[in-house]
Structure 1
Amino acid sequence: MRSSFALFATAGIIALTLSGCASAPAPEAVSGDSSDAVSVTGDFGEKPKVEFPAPLAPEETQCTEIIAGDGELIEEGQFVLLGASLFNGTTGEEVQVVGYDEDPAPLAIGDDTLIAFTKGLSCAREGSRVVVVAPSQEAIRPSDDPTGAEGGDSLVAVFDVIRAFMPRADGAVRLSRDGFPAVVLAPDGRPGITVPKGADPFETTEVEVLKEGSGEVVESGDTVVVHYTGVNWADGEVFDSSWEKGVPISLVVADDEGSQVIPGFSTAVIGQKVGSQVGVVIPPSEAYGEQGNGAVPGNSTLFFVIDILGVV
């Protein structure tokens, strides 16, 4: 194998992302002799005892569900919290364990990940414990050159899907006021935004609930999972979007210096219910001010559409 199986960041943040079907997901892997040969015991959410006859050498990724989960299969664009135990499937060596002891590891499901994880987690749901066994050529990221992995070791992984966040806001649709930017949604939930021509008519941060959810209320200091798109009011051009990156993100919203986002973004999210989608007009004073930031010129009014997918 050209790189180790130390695949997860040690500080509780998973640096990998996965890819899957955009809609109506179906499992990309099924059980087989290799995944069925892995014995897993122990309580869900706690480090399991894992035994298997090494070497395991499947021709393609296999997945066996050990503990049945609930709800829909995990799909692209979701954010999950996991417990994960990783092993070298050729030698039997344990190489990494993360996400247990009430500290599940977060993972945003997107495009750049191990093929094995993409296929294996596509057969999982919230509450699932699954065994994934993969050959070396599928235990690589799509962006990597697979040549270096040929002839390497297989991978065995046991995942506990402790929590799966919704992939897009699912609240009841609400109408916005006149003069507010128009928002239309693609089938996968991605927003398209049309900003009215002319100067921003608002002088303060203005929030509209586009979909009203029914979940937990976001409080100041919460870490939230969101999908968002931000445009510059002046030209309507997108300057940042988690949808374009393919994954939702987690961040802290707060009404003080503890926030990880601009003040207007926090204002839009705090006090809203999970499952909601909000639109927010943010003046320069609550955004990037006179100095601007990257693709945002100074003194720019911004408009965001934010899907609030959960509180971590």
Structure 2
Amino acid sequence: MRLPIALTATATLVALALTGCTATPEPQAEPGASSDLIEVRGDFGDAPRAEFPTPLRPQETQCTEIVEGDGETLGEGQQALVGLAVYNATTGEQLQSTGFGDEPAVPVVLNDGTLPGLVKGLSCASEGSRVAVAVPPADLWGEEGNAAIGLGGEDGIVVIFDVHQAFLPKANGSPRITRDGFPAVVTAPDGRPGITVPDNPPFETTQVEVIKQGNGQTVEDGDNVVVHYTGVLWDDNSVFDSSWESGAPASFVVSEGEGSQVIPGFSKALIGQQVGSQVGVVVTPEDGYGDTAQGSIPAGSTLFFVIDILGVA
């Protein structure tokens, strides 16, 4: 399986952004004197034109919604596809603009790997939002600044985000009862699964069970699917891979033929299922890695995955 690249807050501009019952997430920033001074022109989805008085020196990250979005605001661990335009708040110089028009949107995860100011700013947004965010140095690189992108230690940034698409933070479907002899799954409030593989021998063919039934878009052959997953070995119940541990969802193409970016058993588990579902799949060696060892996975291993289907990109 191809694993996602870790998203971190690095020095390059694009990397600024690449970097139970569920309560509505609480925004970590509010409108303020600085963000309210940012004037934004242009339609949602097109590259914006932002103007603001300089130097703009917010004391804390502020966020003003320019275009109202739909649904709940983004929360901890959630992934979104965005367009973003970045400006030096001291000089007004535009530093970066990407993800607008025909350009591919930029994936951002609201987690510890993304700059705090961007996380706080996006926590005010929802799918379809355009937000203007003013970020002080303390929520960026602090007093050191970032010379690689022309930011001094006293420079903040202004970011205009268009949130094109937001994915679920975890499966939100209705629980279903699985068959006898199938691994037991218990889900923590944040969505992380706990898995217990039974003592009985593994199934002879790949088997799929819906643990939670979602009601969103149906995954089709060739789709690029956004998921959270945990994989364990049937023999000893040990975890060999988990997107939950990396702190960010994974995204890959599932297909019954050429073009798939995952093992056949993983594709079989997802194609035909609906967004919002949690699926369990027992993957036999024939639909997994066969007689070839793969990292910590011994040759000939039967695998078990729990997969939360968060969206189709």
Verify same fold: TM over 0.5. Answer: yes
Paired residue for 2:4? none
Letter in 2 for 1:219: E
Q: Are residues 1:72 and 2:72 paired?
A: yes
Per-residue deviation, 1:77: 2.3
Per-residue deviation, 1:52: 0.9
Paired residue for 1:120? 121
Letter in 2 for 1:229: T
Measured in 1, the distance between the counterparts of 2:241 and 2:55 equals 46
Q: Are residues 1:15 and 2:18 paired?
A: yes
Letter in 2 for 1:253: V
Measured in 2, the distance between the counterparts of 1:50 and 1:137 equals 23
Paired residue for 2:5? none
Query: Do the aligned residues in 2 keep the contact of 1:215 with 1:273 (CA within 8 Å)?
Result: yes
Q: Are residues 1:93 and 2:93 paired?
A: yes
Measured in 2, the distance between the counterparts of 1:87 and 1:130 equals 14
Aligned partner of residue 33 in structure 1, secondary structure: coil
Equivalent residue in structure 1 for 2:189, among 187, 190, 198: 187
Query: Which runs of 5 or more residues in structure 2 are unaligned?
Result: 1-9, 146-151
Measured in 2, the distance between the counterparts of 1:283 and 1:139 equals 47
Q: Are residues 1:238 and 2:239 paired?
A: yes
RMSD: 1.8
Q: Are residues 1:148 and 2:151 paired?
A: no
Paired residue for 1:36? 36
Letter in 1 for 2:144: G
With over 3 angstroms needed to count, the CA separation of the structure-2 counterparts of 1:170 and 1:164, relative to structure 1, is same
- Which digits, 9 at most, give the CA deviation of each residue in 1:59-102, with x for residues without a partner? 21111111122211101222211111111111111111111114
With over 3 angstroms needed to count, the CA separation of the structure-2 counterparts of 1:4 and 1:182, relative to structure 1, is closer
Measured in 2, the distance between the counterparts of 1:119 and 1:185 equals 27
Query: Do the aligned residues in 2 keep the contact of 1:5 with 1:96 (CA within 8 Å)?
Result: no
Letter in 1 for 2:92: G
Paired residue for 1:51? 51
Q: Are residues 1:25 and 2:20 paired?
A: no
Matches within 5 A, 1:202-217: 202-217=203-218
Letter in 2 for 1:6: L
Letter in 1 for 2:18: A
Per-residue deviation, 1:27: 1.2
Paired residue for 2:201? 199
Query: Do the aligned residues in 2 keep the contact of 1:23 with 1:188 (CA within 8 Å)?
Result: no
Letter in 1 for 2:267: S
Measured in 2, the distance between the counterparts of 1:203 and 1:108 equals 38
Measured in 1, the distance between the counterparts of 2:154 and 2:124 equals 25
Question: Number of residue pairs matched?
Answer: 295
TM-score, length-scaled by structure 2 = 0.89
Q: Are residues 1:258 and 2:259 paired?
A: yes
With over 3 angstroms needed to count, the CA separation of the structure-2 counterparts of 1:290 and 1:5, relative to structure 1, is closer
Report percent identity of matched pairs.
56
